[in-house]
Structure 1
Amino acid sequence: MVEEGGYLSLWRGNGMNVTKIAPETGIKFLAYDQYKKFFDDTHSKLDIHERFIAGSLAGVTAQTIVYPMEVLKTRLALGQTGQYKSIKDCARILIKNEGISALYVGYIPNLLGIIPYAGIELTVYESVKKTYCQSSGKNPSDPGIFVHLGCGTISSTCGQLGSYPLALVRTKMQAH
């Protein structure tokens, strides 16, 4: 890649990646809180399976909304230097050549991967935070930045370990 497009080519597609992260994460957490209300308005007595279902549904909701950005990110990242002038140009060329459905190539494997990922991530996050706060006497609504950081790190790692094979299938489908 460096020979073909220089060192900046190593960041190809990262603009779209950064652009999609904020709405994806925001939608996921907003949806998670809303889905938890289906089980318990106070969120205090949710079982692990209820958290998993709420997390999985939140992941599906977020991915459904931002998925075209994921496809564009992959196409930009794998394209040749100068192949696309911008994100808008990439979307225009993709739709012109392959149709609007190209923005959802790999969507099903993505959903199959996001269900365990988001379910595991959000369940582990809340479970670890709750357990830590109960054992240390901290307030679960504000346990401190390092507790959030630690719980987030553990939960994201668990989610990735459980869902990576399907993410790999999705990426291969998007690339072709």
Structure 2
Amino acid sequence: MALVLHAGKTNKNAYKALIAAEYSGVDVKLAENFEMGVTNKTPEFLKMNPIGKVPVLETPDGPIFESNAIARYVTRLIADNPLYGSSLIDYWMDFAATEIDAGISRWLYPRLGFQLYLPPAEEAAISALKRALGALEPASCLKHLPEFPHVERYFWTMVNQPNVKKVVGEVKQAEVVVPNF
């Protein structure tokens, strides 16, 4: 029986669980007819996550929310899964959430009109993101990625993996930075 993941089809945080499921061989399906801003405000959904955030995974033991926790749960369902318990996976998931995602959000959301656009805040967000990408460079967007060739190569390698493509589809690089609103 498939586990049910409540989130929209293009929710980047849901992708974590869906990709983990593909690699782990766990059956996870998106909830049918999920509509952000509607479904996640229903009493049924709020019983699973009282603050109405997505994604939420329905499991036999009860709901799990927060995308990293869901991805970890999915990988740990298979006892001999080589992904199980890997502190390196945990490390990079948390690094991506706190450093990469946060920097991208602070840069992109104002440009999409979700937050007030302030040029100094954008400069700080880009600087923080460059710092995070710089930390990745020895270990392993857009106009800044050529400054980090190893990160860029790793990104394209990952998004072209069959299990990732099955979840997110074809990824295309934007040609211009989104204008601010």
Establish whether TM, by shorter chain, passes 0.5: no
Greater share of strand: 2
Q: TM-score, normalised by structure 1?
A: 0.27
Q: TM-score, normalised by structure 2?
A: 0.26
State the structure with more CA Rg: 1
